[in-house]
Structure formats: structure tokens, C-alpha cells
Amino acid sequence: MPTPDDVLAAELSAARGFRRVEIAVALGYSEGETGPTHLRVLLRETGPGTSDLRCAALLALAKRCREEAHDDYVRAYQSTDAGTRDYAMLALSAYGRDGLWEEVADRLVTTVRRRHRRGTTPSEVVVMIVYLARHSAAHLERLPTLVAGLRQHWEALDEDGGDEAKQWLATYWPDVAPDGPPPDEVSAPDGGAMQAWIRRSPLFARAN
């Protein structure tokens, strides 16, 4: 008897337009052995109109495979498409291993310097901070670098006078604020609590 994955895959082969995105989303809630394979095929699609498809496939893969899809998130993070990179970063923040710390740190600086951002939920700045903080605890030489960088760009963490990222840090890592201890004396944050927070995002509903 065909599994739900098989039924969706059969429909996917004939689907066109936004229906393919809807099927990718449905594969995140489906069951069977073939779903992740089909999602990885969708992740390799390129060209006009495929950004939403890749983003949906990334979230679906994260729901189905969690940490096992780390390499897929890394490849997607190298995409030239901004939306694909954002969703890959979200998956890496929730389930990714170390290996991109320097790249993500550079991207965080580039992002906070950007005058106009995409207004993602959760904040793209917070998503990157979670990844960086999670993978700083085992590399204590990274902590002072991260703390100093966040303080240097403190006022730019949120756009237009907002305070989402600052409020989040006040809850999960209060010592990182500019009035906290010197960077080399700031204790590592609770990376597990940060990771649990991002995994509670509605975008990962199935995974929790």
C-alpha cells in the first residue's frame, strides 16, 4: 500500500506552480521513507520562481530529519538566493552542527550594517546569534569575540529603534549587554535553552 510520502510524490511529478510548494510543505507532515529524498531533489532546483519551493523544502526537511540533514542546510546556506540562505540559517540555528561559525559571524555584521532588512520572524539577527552562541561554549576563545562584536553593533541589532534582539538577549544572555562584564569575563550562555527556544518556533511545529 502506498505511504503518504508516495502519494505526495506521485502528485508532485505532475504538479505545477505554487501547488509544488504546497506539496513540499505537506511532505514535512507526511510519513514514509521516501519523503526526505524528494525534498532533497526539490532543494536542488534552481531558476526563477524556485525560491519559495526551496524554502518550503528546507523547513519540511528540518521537521522530518532534524540534525541528520545538517549537510543539506550547509549546502543551502551557500545559495545565492537570500530566501534560501535565511531558511538554511534557521535550520542550522535549530539543528546544525559547528563548522560555519566564522561565516555566520561575518554575515551577522553585514546584516546589522544593512539599512533595510527583510523583517523575518524570528529576527534573522537572533537566529544567527543562537547559532553563534550555541557553538561558542566549546570554543571559549570565540566568546570574547562574539561579545565584543555584539556590543560594537548594539544599537544596530534592531532596525528603526526596535528592541526585539536586545530584549531576547536580556532574557537569554543578559551579561552580553554593553553594561555587562568585560568581554573576556562574560560567561557562556545556556546554548541548550537558546536552541530549545528556536525549536519552539511554529515553523518547526512538527519537530517538537
Do 36 and 113 share a structural domain? no
What confidence tier does 192 reach under pLDDT thresholds 50, 70, 90?
very high
**Distance spanning both ends of the chain, measured CA to CA:** 28
Q: Are residues 71 and 139 in the same domain?
A: no
In a domain, 66, yes or no: yes
pTM of the model: 0.94
What is the number of other CB atoms lying within 10 angstroms of the CB of residue 120?
Answer: 15
> For all residues of the chain together, what is the average pLDDT?
94
Overall average pLDDT of the 116-129 stretch = 86
Residues 64 and 107 placed together within one structural domain of the fold: no
Task: Say if 81 falls within a structural domain.
Answer: no
In a domain, 85, yes or no: no
Q: Are residues 149 and 47 in the same domain?
A: no
Q: Tell me the CA distances in angstroms from 110 to 38, 40, 115, 117, 158, one per residue in order.
A: 34, 29, 10, 11, 13
Q: What is the mean pLDDT of residues 69-90?
A: 96
Please give the average per-residue pLDDT across 18-39, as a whole number.
97
Q: Would 92 be classed as within a structural domain?
A: no
Task: Write the CB contacts of 200 (distance below 8 Å, at least 6 apart in sequence).
Answer: 208
The residues, any chain, with a CB within 8 Å of residue 193's CB and separated by 6 or more, are 172
User: Same domain for 54 and 124?
Assistant: no
pLDDT at 29: 96
Question: Number of structural domains, the chain?
Answer: 2
* Grid cell in block for residue 117: 532588512
Do 60 and 114 belong to one domain? no
Regarding whether 105 and 178 lie in a shared domain, the answer is yes
- Residue 58 is assigned to a structural domain of this protein: yes
Q: Give me the pLDDT at residue 208, please.
A: 45
pLDDT at 205: 84
Distance, in Å, from the CA atom of 158 to the CA atom of 96, rounded to the nearest integer, reads 24
**Domain end point (choices 75, 109, 141):** 75
Domain region containing 156 = 98-208
162 lies in some domain: yes
88 within a domain of the structure (yes/no) = no
Residue 19 has pLDDT above 90, yes or no: yes
For residue 152, tell me if it sits in a domain. yes
